Structure 1
Amino acid sequence: MSQNIESVCIIDDDSMYISLLSKIIKLKQLSETIIVFNNGREAMNFFQESITTSSIPGVPQVIFLDLNMPIMDGWEFLNEFSKIKHQFDEKINLYVVSSSIDERDIKRVKSIAWVSNYLVKPITIDNLERLLK
């Protein structure tokens, strides 16, 4: 099976989750490249720099974003990313992935039209394959 998505971005502070998700993506050959950031600030710096610097590789086609992280959480990232997302030529599918099952979080995320979906951790292999194909 060949890669369906060239690049996936994981923005999460849970190293176990990052490791598991990365291994599944590699094992199932769902993406050629996996970019990992441990908080929204690191990710935002990357995306802002990729707008102004041609030396940054292409932006990922898929982002998996956690809500609860230190430094810059997922909500802050969504707010900042909304200001720059229009500057990318490629379509980016952003999935909020959280362990929160709070209806307020789910409704809030689903009210953001450009967010692809809200997924509850852990993501199953079947769901991951469906999203990345």
Structure 2
Amino acid sequence: MSQNIESVCIIDDDSIYINLVSKIIQLKRLSQSVLVFNNGKEALDFFHESIRTDLEVEVPQVIFLDINMPIMDGWEFLKEFSKIRNDISDVIDLYVVSSSIDTRDIDRAKSIDVVSDYLAKPIKLDDFVRVLG
């Protein structure tokens, strides 16, 4: 499979999940690189920096965002990211990824403009191929 996606971003505090997803992406050659942030604040700081600086910053084409994290959770990240999204010229597909199957969480995520879709954990290989392939 070819690598159409240059960079994927995982925003999640679960190191086992991060390692698993990174390994799947690498083994299936779904992306050239994987950026990892352990909470929404780290990721938001990265995006603020990419807007602020003139340096070539590798903005990911796809983001997998967890909901439940310390420091800044996924909902807080989405609120702040929505404010700066238009300042980022690159196309970014953002997927909320959560173990929650609560329809309120799913509907809430899908109602946010910057969210492409909601994926339930564990993500199936078919979903990775569909999203990144």
Q: Same fold, TM exceeding 0.5?
A: yes
Distance (whole Å) between structure 1 residues aligned to residue 127 and residue 49 of structure 2: 31
Secondary structure in structure 1 of the residue aligned to 2:8: strand
CA distance in 2 between counterparts of 1:90 and 1:10 reads: 17
Q: Partners in 1 of 2:16 and 2:59 — Cα distance?
A: 24
Deviations 1:80-112 (A, max 9, x none): 000000011111000000000111101101111
Conservation of the 8 A alpha-carbon contact between 1:49 and 1:56: no
How many residue pairs get matched? 133
Q: Determine whether 1:113 maps to 2:113.
A: yes
Q: Distance in 2 between matches of 1:38 and 1:56?
A: 23
Structure 2, gaps ≥5 residues long: none
Equivalent in the alignment of 1:40: 40
Distance in 2 (CA, whole Å) between partners of 1:49 and 1:71 is: 19
Partner in structure 2 of residue 60 of structure 1: 60
SS of 1:97's equivalent? strand
Shift of 1:54: 2.5
Question: Following the alignment from structure 2 to structure 1, what is the Cα–Cα distance between the partners of residues 99 and 131?
Answer: 18
The residue aligned with 1:104 is 104
State the Cα deviation string for residues 23-78 of structure 1 (Å, max 9, x = none): 00000000001000000000000000000113352210000000000000000000
The one-letter amino acid paired with 1:4 is N
- After TM superposition, the score normalised by the length of structure 2 is 0.97
Tell me the equivalent position of 1:2. Answer: 2
- Give the secondary structure class of the aligned counterpart of 2:43: helix
Q: Distance in 1 between matches of 2:50 and 2:56?
A: 5
Q: Output the aligned Cα RMSD.
A: 0.9
Q: Distance in 1 between matches of 2:46 and 2:94?
A: 15
Match of 2:89 in 1: 89
Structure 1 segments unaligned to the other structure (5+ residues): none
